[in-house]
Amino acid sequence: MREQILNEFVVEGGERLEMEKKRCGAVVPLWIIPILAIAFLTIISLTASAVPHPIFGTAVYAYGGGNADGATVEVVTNNTDVPPEDRVLTTIVGPEGGWGSGEWQVDCGDPGPNWPEGSYFVVYINGTDEHEGWRGIAEGVVSGYYNDMGEVVLYPPLEADADGPYEGTAGIPIQFNGNATGGCPPYTWFWDFGDGYTSTEQNPVHTYASSGNYTVTLTVTDSRGVTANDTTYAQVYPPLEADANGPYKGIVYNPIQFVGNATGGSPPYTWFWDFGDGCNSTEQNPTHTYASPGNYTVTLTVTDSRGVTANDTTYAQVYPPLEADADGPYEGTAGIPIQFNGNATGGCPPYTWFWDFGDGSTSTEQTPVHTYESPGNYTVTLTVTDSCGTTANDTTYAYVHTPELKADADGPYTGVVGTPIQFRGSATGGSPPYTWFWDFGDGHTSTEQNPVHTYANPGTYTVTLTVTDSLGVTANDTTYAYVHTPGLQADADGPYTGVVNSPVQFVGSATGGSPPYTWFWDFGDGSTSTEQNPVHTYTSPGNYTVTLTVTDSEGNNATDVTTAIIVESDTTPPVLEITKPLKNSIYIKNHRVFPFIGTWIFGEIDIEVNASDEHGIDKVEFYINGVLKATDSTPPYTWKWSERTFGRYTIKIIAYDNFGNSAVKEIKVWKFF
């Protein structure tokens, strides 16, 4: 009959072993039967007298790898009634050449009276240190004729393997791999990821929220509760971010410089630019030339050393080639202003302008007015620079002639009897210096350029100025002096502007004298009206002198003179510029803090505009998201945007000149508070 008992055990140093104790039998030769009988009778007598018997039997051993050369077997009791010096019964040296799987007969001899029946004993198999320190334990109790030390199974030491080290990116899962050898399977697993999180899976996936170098510990426990640890590290990088900068702008056939940046991830990086036209580059900061104008989507893909990628998209606005147009050629007279007109196409608006008039004078206006002091043929050059820094030139000519002598008596003049009237004379052309002669129409004269004269009687006087230059050439100009009695005053309002064949509204008023009044308008083109507020249409362009004569009930007259500027047509819109806020800036409490991507406004802001037109500005309107917020008719044109609001808005400005032409500018902004 065989009895089998399985024992599991834990050995020192964290190694695990499993043992099985077996009751063993053996085939015994016939010649030994008498000896066994005598031994049996002896055992019976010893048992009857309660004397313990020798401990011997078969140790069946095995190991799971390694070598146990020179191992020993010790039979030890832990009976505290046994003196310490008697607790080790025997020490047996194992066979040389290494242990394998098999049987080994052990006869431990008689334990003596210090090991009474029922004493607990342990069999140790101890490997040498140079052979990895194998250990095995078998348990038994002293009883009967012999004791079977059972089977001793040797396992290698329990070892945990956390693999690693690991690398990853914050916010992206990392795969961890755990392994174990030795000990007594099956195993249980416990990972400590070093950031306060754990896992009981063998091969868990874990995501770190923040970058850093984390200590990772794997604890493996076998089926007998023995543990083994292994520590590794997880290097966690910040999230990879690509920055394509931009947006970019440029001109066809001109290189555009692109600038790429990246943060986070695991440097070094590799770069891949897709320029949106079928071309690409693997440089960090490439230059690229577009062959056609358009708005291209540009994508930068950054890959770090671990293969993680990040993208950023921007745009490249590519314009046609920049061309300047100086118009011309121009023709004029020395001393008389000449209007120059500049234009540009292509390139990257907005443009800046630079005129060289060929006489040492320059201008940075788009459509400047310039006066040449001397006759001659001048080479005029317009240089246009766009916002990309590209320049284009155009050359034309200005043919300037010697001016004809002309006298200008200014006027007409109005005044009151007995009150001095200031007369102003001027001349152009001819050959200076000039001499002056005034005939005031009342028998009095003067040789001053700007004389003062007092009329003694009311009336309308014809005033003539004669100018003589140094060569004796003369020129005359005639005007009028309207002299009335004190008190009555006429007001013709004005000056007026208009377009040929379009009605112009005139407004007359009077003060003083003895109402009611009668009205007489002379529009300067041969037409008149007796209405107070007439409407008149001019059929030709020009600068017209408009005279209003008011007569009161006592026959007193008062005159006022103004001008009407009539043009063929005016379709040129005003020049309009938003000077605050500027694009790509941050404003805090009405102050520009620093440049930025986009326009951001925190708090209230004064929206400021420059508007100009050669015929004057009528009004400037301020819109927010298409809603009219304010109208300003007097420069400087401004409106305070004080609404507390949050979001993205479009500021639109519309400027109207006196002929109804308009210009529009917009800017998109983010506003908070």
Binned at pLDDT 50, 70 and 90, residue 47 comes out as very low
CA separation for the pair 384, 355 (Å, rounded): 9
Separation in Å, CA 66 to CA 92, 153, 192: 21, 13, 31
SS3 content of the chain, % helix, strand, coil (to 5): 5, 50, 45
pLDDT digits (tens, 9 = 90+) for 1-28: 222 222 322 222 222 233 333 222 333 3
Binned at pLDDT 50, 70 and 90, residue 375 comes out as confident
pLDDT digits (tens, 9 = 90+) for 408-455: 999 899 888 888 999 999 998 887 899 999 999 999 999 999 999 999
What is the structure's pLDDT at 513? 76
CA separation for the pair 673, 348 (Å, rounded): 34
- Whether the pLDDT of residue 525 is over 90: the answer is yes
Least trusted range by pLDDT, from 103-117, 232-246, 493-507, 595-609 = 103-117
For residue 180, what is the DSSP state?
A: E
Contacts within 8 Å (CB) and 24+ apart, 599-602: 599/667, 599/668, 599/669, 599/670, 600/669, 600/670, 600/671, 600/672, 601/641, 601/669, 601/670, 601/671, 601/672, 602/671, 602/672, 602/673
- Whether the pLDDT of residue 378 is over 50: the answer is yes
Tell which phi-psi region holds residue 423, choosing left (phi > 0), alpha (psi between -120 and 50) or beta: beta
What is the structure's pLDDT at 80? 67
What is the structure's pLDDT at 483? 86
3-state DSSP assignment of residue 642: coil
What is the structure's pLDDT at 73? 53
pLDDT digits (tens, 9 = 90+) for 207-217: 999 999 999 99
Using a pLDDT cut of 90, give the percent of the chain over it: 58
For 440-571, strand residue ranges (E) read 445-446, 452-453, 459-468, 474-484, 489-491, 496-499, 503-505, 509-511, 518-522, 528-529, 535-537, 542-551, 557-567
Report whether the peptide linkage leading into residue 34 is cis, meaning its omega lies within 30 degrees of zero.
no
Residue 73: how many other CB atoms lie within 10 Å: 22
Using a pLDDT cut of 70, give the percent of the chain over it: 76
Token pair 């009897």 in the structure block, residue: 417
Residue 519 tokens read as 């009205």
What is the structure's pLDDT at 632? 95
**Residues 335 and 373 sit within 8 Å (Cβ to Cβ):** yes
Nearest to 82, CA basis, from 117, 108, 51, 113: 113
- Whether the pLDDT of residue 537 is over 90: the answer is yes
- Whether the pLDDT of residue 470 is over 90: the answer is no
Spell out the residues 6+ positions from residue 530 whose beta carbon is closer than 8 angstroms to its own. 518, 519, 520, 521
- 44-67 average pLDDT score: 38
The residues facing 434 across adjacent strands are none
**Residues 471 and 431 sit within 8 Å (Cβ to Cβ):** yes
Binned at pLDDT 50, 70 and 90, residue 335 comes out as confident
Measured on CA atoms in the order 543, 562, 427, 474, is the torsion positive or negative? positive
Residue 419 tokens read as 């009150």
pLDDT digits (tens, 9 = 90+) for 99-123: 343 444 444 444 555 555 444 455 5
- 559-566 average pLDDT score: 93
The residues facing 287 across adjacent strands are 257
**Residues 185 and 223 sit within 8 Å (Cβ to Cβ):** yes
Measured on CA atoms in the order 606, 611, 616, 617, is the torsion positive or negative? negative
3-state DSSP assignment of residue 353: strand
What is the structure's pLDDT at 74? 56
More confident residue, 179 or 457: 179
CA separation for the pair 93, 604 (Å, rounded): 97
- H-helix or E-strand spanning residue 9: strand 4-10
CA separation for the pair 332, 95 (Å, rounded): 127
Domains of the chain (ranges, CATH numbers): 4-154 (2.60.40.10), 159-237 (2.60.40.10), 241-319 (2.60.40.10), 323-401 (2.60.40.10), 406-484 (2.60.40.10), 489-567 (2.60.40.10), 575-672 (2.60.40.10)
Residue 56 tokens read as 């011997």
Spell out the residues 6+ positions from residue 172 whose beta carbon is closer than 8 angstroms to its own. 207, 239, 308
Residue 590 tokens read as 């009405």
More confident residue, 167 or 122: 167
- 318-337 average pLDDT score: 91
